[in-house]
Amino acid sequence: MRLSSKQMKTRTKNKNSTMWLIITVLILLFFAIICILVENNCILIKRREDFDGDTKILHISDCHKRNNADFNKRVIAAAKDEKPDVIFITGDVVSRTETEFSATEVLLTELCDIAPVYMCMGNHEQSLKNDNQHKLLDVVAKTDVRLLVNEGEYAEINGKKYYICGVMQDYSTYKKDGGYRNLDDFTIDEMKNYLGECLEDEVLLLAHNPFFAEVYAEWGADYTFSGHIHGGVIRLFGVGIFSPERRFFPKYSKGVYDISGKKLLVSAGVGKLRMFNPPEIVIYKI
Per-residue model confidence as pLDDT tens digits over 210-225: 999 999 999 999 999 9
List the 45-50 sheet strands across, edge first.
45-50, 280-285, 56-60, 86-90, 117-120, 146-147
- Amino acid identity, position 257: Y
Predicted local confidence at residue 165, as pLDDT: 98
- Residue 12: how many other CB atoms lie within 10 Å: 10
Predicted local confidence at residue 249, as pLDDT: 95
In whole angstroms, what separates CA 109 from the centre of its chain?
21
* Backbone torsion region of residue 94, taken as left when φ is above 0, otherwise alpha when ψ lies between -120 and 50, otherwise beta: beta
Predicted local confidence at residue 69, as pLDDT: 76
Cβ distance 102 to 136 under 8 Å? no
Cβ distance 128 to 138 under 8 Å? no
Predicted local confidence at residue 197, as pLDDT: 96
The 10s digit of each residue's pLDDT in 117-140 is 999 999 999 999 999 999 999 999
Taking the chain (286 residues) in consecutive chunks of 10 residues, what is each chunk's mean pLDDT?
A: 58 67 68 65 87 95 82 92 97 93 95 98 96 96 98 94 97 92 95 95 96 98 97 92 91 96 96 87 96
As a whole number of angstroms, the distance between CA 98 and CA 94 comes to 7
Predicted local confidence at residue 272, as pLDDT: 79
The 10s digit of each residue's pLDDT in 238-258 is 999 999 888 899 999 999 999
